[in-house]
Amino acid sequence: MSIHMKKGKKRTEGFTLVELICVIAILGILVAIAVPSYRGIQDKSAEQVAISNARSNYTLGKAQQDMLDAGVIKESEKEEYHFDKDKNSAYWEGQINGKTYKAVYDGDTGEGRIESGN
């Protein structure tokens, strides 16, 4: 192929500006769809972590309460797990990914729920 192009012959290699703009527009649309979905997945995951933490507090709090009732440990040795013996539940409150969550685990139903997440 000659280095110099003959007059009237157009170059056929590469992409046109219109093609590049179309690709960029399509990528922009895909990103606009994917980012909110990704954030929703992050929020749902954080809620599950909070509920899991509340479940752990319930398990530890109930075991600790059983040891208190059996006289194995003293009230002064008790650690705070936010366990409520009367309601048979526990809660966890803390921050995940910059949001504050409060999750409650109910020992009677075996279910956890988010009470607040800001």
21 within domain boundaries: no
20 within domain boundaries: no
16 within domain boundaries: no
Query: Largest alpha-carbon pair distance within the chain?
Result: 100
61 within domain boundaries: yes
Q: DSSP strand E in the chain: where? A: 83-84, 89-96, 99-106, 111-117
Q: Is the pTM of this model over 0.75?
A: no
First vs last Cα of the chain: how many Å apart? 66
How many domains does the structure of the chain reveal?
1
Range of the domain at 47: 26-74+81-117
Q: What is the pLDDT of residues 16-71, one digit of tens each?
A: 999 999 999 999 999 999 888 888 899 999 999 999 999 999 999 999 999 999 99
6 within domain boundaries: no
DSSP single-letter state for residue 16: -
Strand pairing report for 99-106 and 111-117: antiparallel
31 within domain boundaries: yes
